């Protein structure tokens, strides 16, 4: 069988680079500035080893726009290149000098680039690229390399006096946006905000005030416009940072945001390298608006704020920074490539977060409880989505009742065991998601010495079902549900004040007025303090309809069903109704009591509500 090699024509490489190498054209600036940082890191490493004995001077990268010349220039005072190195590194696509340097100075340098394609991203926005460079080696002369976007290039003697490199981009007509200072400054702040060497972009005017009182004068000074913070908090030792340092850094990341609740400083060097700071923001009752706030960096170079591949879904509610050179990126460093390292990092971060919450709960429970309104969404979301987190969080997840008391799940089970166990031996967690709307039902529960939880968060519906699945011997029941009638209350079982004959008569009166489909009439001997007529909805059916609504389905997929519970021990039933002589008055009285019960559940609407109001007004007259 014949064999051969596939030939890649170099003249085809530039159209590919221009159109397909990077998902975002703007990435070119990040790549070129990163290269300048690499070159600067190298000279610093050589100096520390004694391989470079000259003066380091000011290690700074400069970016400059020249609108008239239509150029964008990135300059550094790094290691520079000899003519031989230019020939080797710039003329062989994907042959990275960073790889060579890493092999020689392993573990002593933090080099960003590994692919050798970053430099060629310049051709996405430039018709012509010039490289003016001079090596740190004193005997080597400066050279200029130039290429106008095809495989031909020129090398000639250069004029640069000191070491370093200038990359000059002659911006193409379809990329003139990159000659706008605001655009370039925005990109530098996005991608290069925390690079380890100062990045200068022009100058700015600072105003200071001298003198006192009326003598006070504003003094304007022109200073270098330094884009970045070369020493971000996450690169420092946690021991050297105070609370105000963490809050200051949070404000640097998210200006004008409310202060965070607390934070976790990540710092690990085995089995992978990872640093960062994760903040717990004030979530309140929202989830979606808080996502995509974690910024991923690789050696202080911004990569993305879409980190769902590296942290579990629930952790995307956190804010902050993760920085790791061990995270595998695609060739354009624009997104993650999943591998075992990513899974290990994800597991590590999850464990650190769970440990932080457990420690805070254990050592500062009062403080933890004060923050629960914001932490609750996060903890519940984590328990729903991550099995390992659930196992840890079940010990510090809290339930809050209407009295403002907080209990862990086990504490609450112990609290209600004697009073809120149903005839199926399940513990009943009574709750309300709207205490004002359910006020009468809440009061009725309190009169029976029952405890009511407040579960009104956006995630609570799913959280309740999750706990019912995990703990098969508990059930959540909304306070207006008929299921509460199943509670075992042996000590205060109430006898009905009505005889069997009177009970049948009252039932007949209500059946004559209530002929709604799905309505079931029940007569029960409740306390005289309870309502005369109560409308309740089966817990299961109500949940089905709520899930139906959340999924955008019509509310008609399941028929509405409810119970009309008539309290045979209420004076209005046991005495007044039965003593009425006029059948018309009995009919009107029953209808009014039924409408009151519907109104209490928000079920009296439209024409029926209007008639009820008009009848009430007539009654008052």
Domain stops at, among 442, 464, 491: 491
CA distance 130 to 138: 22
Q: Is the peptide bond before 156 cis (omega within 30 degrees of 0)?
A: no
Please report which helix (H) or strand (E) contains residue 432, including its range.
Answer: strand 427-432
Distance CA 152, CA 167 (A): 18
| Whole-number Å distance between alpha carbons of 494 and 147 | 96
Highest-pLDDT range among 59-68, 80-89, 454-463: 59-68
Is there a domain that residue 79 lies in?
yes
Statement: residue 412 has pLDDT above 80: yes
Position 123 scores a pLDDT of 87
Same domain, 24 and 140: yes
Specify if 290 maps to a domain: yes
> Could you report the per-residue pLDDT of 235-275, keeping only the tens digit for each?
999 999 999 999 999 999 988 888 899 899 998 887 788 89
485/593: higher pLDDT: 593
Residues 474 and 510 in one domain: no
Last residue of a domain, one of 491, 521, 552: 491
pTM over 0.85: no
d(CA 403, CA 382): 26
The domain that contains 41 carries what CATH number?
3.30.565.10
154 and 58 within one domain: yes
pLDDT above 50: residue 8: no
As a whole number of angstroms, the distance between CA 420 and CA 147 comes to 81
* Vertex 162: Cα angle to 168 and 203 (nearest 5): 55
pLDDT at 399 over 80: yes
Most confident range (mean pLDDT) of 323-332, 386-395, 518-527 is 386-395
Query: What phi and psi, each to the nearest 5 degrees, are found at residue 486?
Result: -85, -5
Same domain (yes/no): 406, 261 = no
Measure the CA–CA gap between 196 and 110, rounded to whole angstroms. 10
Residue 601 lies in a domain: yes
**249 & 139 share domain:** no
The answer to the question of residue 216 being in a domain is: no
| 6 — pLDDT class (breaks 50, 70, 90) | very low
Cβ atoms < 10 Å from Cβ of 582? 9
CATH number (domain holding residue 463) = 3.40.50.11260
Task: Quote the crossing angle between the two packed helices 97-104 and 83-90, to the nearest 10°.
Answer: 110
Q: For 109-135, how does the pLDDT look when each residue is reduced to its tens digit (9 = 90+)?
A: 454 444 346 788 888 899 999 999 999
**Helix/strand number for the chain, H first, E second:** 19, 21
**CA 166 – CA 101 distance, rounded (Å):** 20
Is 556 in the same domain as 600?
yes
The CATH number of residue 263's host domain is 3.30.230.80
Q: Are residues 450 and 482 in the same domain?
A: yes
Is residue 379 in a domain?
no
Within a domain: residue 604? yes
Q: What is the H or E stretch that residue 516 is in?
A: none
CATH of the domain at 574: 1.20.120.790
Q: What is the DSSP letter of 141?
A: P
Point out the least confidently predicted range of 20-24, 48-52, 131-135, 570-574.
20-24
Strand partners, 253: none
Residue 208, domain member (yes or no): no
| Domain co-membership, 119 together with 30 | yes
Same domain, 46 and 94: yes
Please give the residue that has the higher pLDDT: either 324 or 212. Answer: 324
Total count of domains within the chain: 4
Q: Does residue 473 sit within a domain?
A: yes
Instruction: Work out the widest C-alpha separation in the chain, in whole angstroms.
Output: 121
Range list of H helices, 514-582: 539-550, 571, 578-579
Containing structural domain, residue 465: 397-491
- Clarify whether residues 332 and 347 are in a common domain: yes
Last residue of a domain, one of 202, 223, 249: 202
List 164's β-bridge partners, or say none. Answer: 134
Residue 299 shares a structural domain with residue 406: no
Instruction: Judge if 463 and 526 occupy the same domain.
Output: no
């Amino acid at each position: 069988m014949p064999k051969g090699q596939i030939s890649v024509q170099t003249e085809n490489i530039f159209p590919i680079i221009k159109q397909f190498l990077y998902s975002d054209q703007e990435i070119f600036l990040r790549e070129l500035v990163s290269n300048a940082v690499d070159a600067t890191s190298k000279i610093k490493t050589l100096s520390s080893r004694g391989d470079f004995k000259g003066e380091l001077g000011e290690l700074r990268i400069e970016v400059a726009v020249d609108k008239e010349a239509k150029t964008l220039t990135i300059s550094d005072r790094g290691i520079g290149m000899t003519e031989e190195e230019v020939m080797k590194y710039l003329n062989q696509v994907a042959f990275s000098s960073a790889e060579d340097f890493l092999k020689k100075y392993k573990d002593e340098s933090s080099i960003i680039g590994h692919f050798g394609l970053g430099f060629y991203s310049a051709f996405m926005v430039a018709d012509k690229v010039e490289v003016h460079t001079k090596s740190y080696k004193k005997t080597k002369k400066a050279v200029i390399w130039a290429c106008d976007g095809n495989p031909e290039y020129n090398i000639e003697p250069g004029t640069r006096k000191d070491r370093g490199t200038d990359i000059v981009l002659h911006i193409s007509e379809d990329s003139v946006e990159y000659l706008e200072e605001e655009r370039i400054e925005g990109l530098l702040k996005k991608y290069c905000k925390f690079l380890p060497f100062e990045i200068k972009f022009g100058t700015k005017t600072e105003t200071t005030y001298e003198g006192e009182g009326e003598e006070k004068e504003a003094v304007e000074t022109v200073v270098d416009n330094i884009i970045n913070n070369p020493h971000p908090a996450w690169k420092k030792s946690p021991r050297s940072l105070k609370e105000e340092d963490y809050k200051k850094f949070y404000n640097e990341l998210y200006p004008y945001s409310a202060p965070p609740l607390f934070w976790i400083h990540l710092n690990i060097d085995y089995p992978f390298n990872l640093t960062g700071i994760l903040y717990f923001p004030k979530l309140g009752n929202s989830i979606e608006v808080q996502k995509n706030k974690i910024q991923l960096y690789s050696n202080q170079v911004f990569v993305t704020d879409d980190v769902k591949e590296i942290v579990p879904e629930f952790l995307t509610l956190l804010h902050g920074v993760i920085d790791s050179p061990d995270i595998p990126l695609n060739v354009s460093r624009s997104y993650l490539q999943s591998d075992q390292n990513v899974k290990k990092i994800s597991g590590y971060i999850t464990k650190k977060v769970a440990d932080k919450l457990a420690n805070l709960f254990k050592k500062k429970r009062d403080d933890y409880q004060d923050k629960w309104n914001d932490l609750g969404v996060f903890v519940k979301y984590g328990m729903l989505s991550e099995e390992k987190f659930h196992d840890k969080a079940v010990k510090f997840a809290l339930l809050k009742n209407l009295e403002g008391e907080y209990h862990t799940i086990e504490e609450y089970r112990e609290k209600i065991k004697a009073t809120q166990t149903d005839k199926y031996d399940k513990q009943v967690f009574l709750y309300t998601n709207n205490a004002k709307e359910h006020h009468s039902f809440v009061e009725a529960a309190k009169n029976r010495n029952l405890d009511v939880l407040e579960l009104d968060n956006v995630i609570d519906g799913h959280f309740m079902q999750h706990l019912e699945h995990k703990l098969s011997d508990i059930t959540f029941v909304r306070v207006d549900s008929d299921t509460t009638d199943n509670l075992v209350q042996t000590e205060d079982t109430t006898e009905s004040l009505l005889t069997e004959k009177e009970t049948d008569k009252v039932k007949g009166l209500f059946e004559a007025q209530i002929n709604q489909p799905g309505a079931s009439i029940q007569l029960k001997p409740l306390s005289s303090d309870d309502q005369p007529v109560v409308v309740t909805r089966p817990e299961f059916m109500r949940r089905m309809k709520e899930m139906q609504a959340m999924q955008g389905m019509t509310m008609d997929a399941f028929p509405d069903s409810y119970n009309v519970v008539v309290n045979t021990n209420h004076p209005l039933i046991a005495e007044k109704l039965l003593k009425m002589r006029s059948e018309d008055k009995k009919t009107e009285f029953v209808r009014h009591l039924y409408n009151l019960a519907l109104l209490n559940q928000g079920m009296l609407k439209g024409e029926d509500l209007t008639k009820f109001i008009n009848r009430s007004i007539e009654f008052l007259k």
